[in-house]
């Protein structure tokens, strides 16, 4: 019999989402708030792992959610397709970041730029999420955007997440 023995670390390299041998790669973005949330700041790190990408985000200075029920302390968190965090109109900032990144032309919420909402804990949020929709190298040159409202995961094309509070350009790490 000819049995196949999986590689070390318990995963079969034939089924890793990259066609190349596994080599850790990273990308990151420094997030800075705009005119609607000037105290918002933080970072996102994208790390290739077996079968996909680990996305880690940590931010502080999220605006208070008081009086915004039923939305509560949730904020939209997406990848956008343009490589610009130019503020532009202070009343509606970061439009230069483009739309949700959607390289495979999928309906919302199935495109690569859709990520889970951030949960603010007194203005601070930290989240770690796994995705197999992209690798770290794929997002270099895109932007990370935090929106004033949570994604409703229904409205086309972008989930009705409201204005853009903060932006960060994704660069190679």
Map out the domains of the chain with their CATH numbers: 24-172 (2.60.40.200)
Write out the two tokens for 27.
């990308």
Centroid of chain to Cα 120:
16
Q: Dihedral of the CA atoms 128, 131, 165, 87 (nearest 10)?
A: 130
Percent of the chain scoring above 70 in pLDDT: 82
SS3 112: coil
Task: Give all strands (DSSP E) within the chain, no chain letters.
Answer: 26-33, 41-49, 52-60, 74-75, 77-80, 118-119, 125-131, 143-147, 164-172
Q: What is the pLDDT of residue 23?
A: 46
pLDDT digits (tens, 9 = 90+) for 44-103: 999 999 999 999 999 999 998 665 545 678 999 999 999 999 999 999 999 999 999 999
Residue 106 predicted with pLDDT over 50: yes
Instruction: Read off the pTM.
Output: 0.83
Residue 136 predicted with pLDDT over 90: yes
DSSP string covering 18-36, please?
A: SSS-----EEEEEEEE-TT
Residue pointed to by tokens 């439009």: 95
């Amino acid at each position: 019999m000819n049995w196949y023995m999986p590689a070390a670390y318990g995963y079969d390299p034939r089924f890793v989402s990259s066609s190349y041998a596994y080599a850790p790669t990273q990308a990151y973005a420094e997030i800075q708030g705009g005119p609607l949330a000037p105290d918002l700041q933080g970072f996102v790190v994208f790390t290739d792992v077996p079968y996909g990408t680990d996305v880690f985000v940590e931010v502080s200075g999220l605006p208070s959610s008081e009086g915004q029920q039923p939305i509560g302390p949730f904020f939209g968190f997406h990848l956008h397709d343009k490589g610009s965090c130019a503020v532009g109109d202070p009343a509606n900032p970061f439009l230069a970041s483009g739309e949700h990144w959607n390289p495979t032309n999928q309906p919302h919420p199935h495109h690569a730029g859709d990520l889970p909402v951030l949960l603010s804990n007194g203005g601070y949020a930290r989240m770690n999420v796994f995705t197999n929709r992209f690798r770290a190298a794929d997002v270099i040159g895109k932007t990370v955007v935090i929106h004033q409202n949570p994604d409703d995961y229904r409205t086309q094309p972008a989930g009705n997440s409201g204005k853009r509070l903060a932006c960060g350009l994704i660069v190679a790490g």
